[in-house]
Amino acid sequence: MQIRIFAAHWGNNELEAQVFIDRVKEAGFDGIEMSLPLDAAQRDDWTRRIADAGLGLIAAQWETVFHPTFEPHKAALAELLHNCCAARPLHVNCHTGKDYFTPEQNLELLQLADDIARQHGIPIYHEIHRSRFSGHPMLLLPYLRQMPQLQLTADLSHWCCACESLLEDQPQTLAATLPHVRHIHARVGHPQGPQVADFRAPESQAALAAHLSWWDEVIRLRRAAGAEGITLTPEFGPVPYTQTLPYSQQEVSNAWELNVAMLRLLRARYAA
């Protein structure tokens, strides 16, 4: 089974397109995960540059966060997903719905995404993320029962924060969720936040071990299912995800450095 590791464009938006693409290539990533411009010419410029570099593309949709009421949210979701799929990415990672929308509304959004995915022939995976339909395990599980075909991006750092734990108290939640995972956001969270300061630090080792065990299980499940591949994106983010020192606001770690370090850890762990 092919394991491909992607670089997150998030946190690197200040870089020119080619500068970022060259940086990704030099670091050894297999591709880029990014939110694409709605302007067709700008979108096509990005996709051409990424393809010319021999890199893969995962399109990301998160901008519906700016639409707090249902009908504008639904309209924006449709526009953004069509835009993502027009770039012909490997798949789309989608921030879907709101934790305060009704179950019927969130199901309508999930069905809309499913219809767009079939129309374009591009898989759409729904990210486990705070404040979305999947922001807490007990929010997500009913949707998995109603839509057993639902495919997920596992960013379980969000659940660590939402549940104030490393999920050691709910193995049944993980057993129900992990078979639906098709893409992993490889960020390490902790019981009081979605991102440790540095996953290499001694005080982060329990959290790192928990996350690695979840990622190992996803990869085991995909291999057992005969999947051709799976993707992972190290996704340590900028401020405020990256912590800062009081008063000086100096970052205690560098997100790009952490993502490259996670790339190397994943390469070594899953090389076989």
Domain 2-269 belongs in CATH node 3.20.20.150? yes
Q: Which pTM does this prediction carry?
A: 0.97
Query: Which residue ranges make up each domain of the chain?
Result: 2-269
pLDDT at 122: 98
Divide the 272 residues of the chain into consecutive groups of 10 and give the mean pLDDT of each group. 97 97 98 98 98 98 97 98 98 98 98 98 98 97 97 98 97 98 98 97 98 98 98 96 90 96 98 76
Q: How far is CA 91 from CA 23, 94, 113, 209, in A?
A: 22, 10, 12, 28
Quote the pLDDT of residue 272.
67
